[in-house]
Amino acid sequence: MTHAEASMKTKQAMADSLKRYMEVKSLSKITISAICEDCGINRKTFYYHFKDIYDLLKWTLEQESLVVVNQLDVMVDYEKIVLTLLDYVDKNRALLVHAYSAIGKNGFGQFFSSSFERVSLDVIDSAAERQNVELSEEYKGFLCCFYSLNIVALLCQLKISAYSISASRIAIILLLSPLWLSNSVLSLLLSLTKPVSTIHESSPFSSIFL
């Protein structure tokens, strides 16, 4: 086993230990000593890999995100993407709730944003193609970020917060979001088909639209 492989194995063991503890307690009540004892390592080994418990949490979520994104990368159907995400949330809810409490909405949103950015971009490209409208990469990036962040915020609010809404109802809400997204993008694209003279040249957004 190479040094890199051994290091990854140790880090993964600590991440697995953290996940087990977060099933039953908040991050603030989990100690480095407990992680070390559970993994059979000393504190020096822990600090060799991570600065503190929050650094371990960040790495753990990054690894979890890679697993989820790798699953979604082979999917092209929005319904399967949504149901896969909800299934992951259901199976890891305790971890995600405690992570949400520890790092807040903004930090937690990064966990899902890359997946929804890809979905949003597909919808935007499809809408633009149907309307025969060409958008700048800068403006597509803005739209993609705007819609994906709002969908992620909806997911966080409904599933991770204290709202008592069933997974099936959340699935319906999220599955309807591409229709809303597509319709709103289409409306926006239709407005962009107006003569370019209707967009004032002094507008700070003129370079994006034109």
**This prediction's pTM:** 0.64
- Give the pLDDT of the chain (210 residues) as one tens digit per residue: 898 999 999 999 999 999 999 999 999 999 999 999 999 999 999 999 999 999 999 899 888 877 776 666 555 556 666 677 777 777 887 888 888 888 777 777 776 676 667 667 777 777 778 778 788 888 888 888 887 777 677 667 665 655 555 666 666 666 556 555 566 655 665 565 544 444 344 444 444 444
Q: How far apart are CA 59 and CA 17, in angstroms?
A: 13
Q: Which two tokens stand for residue 72?
A: 């979604």
Element (H, E) at 167: helix 167-192
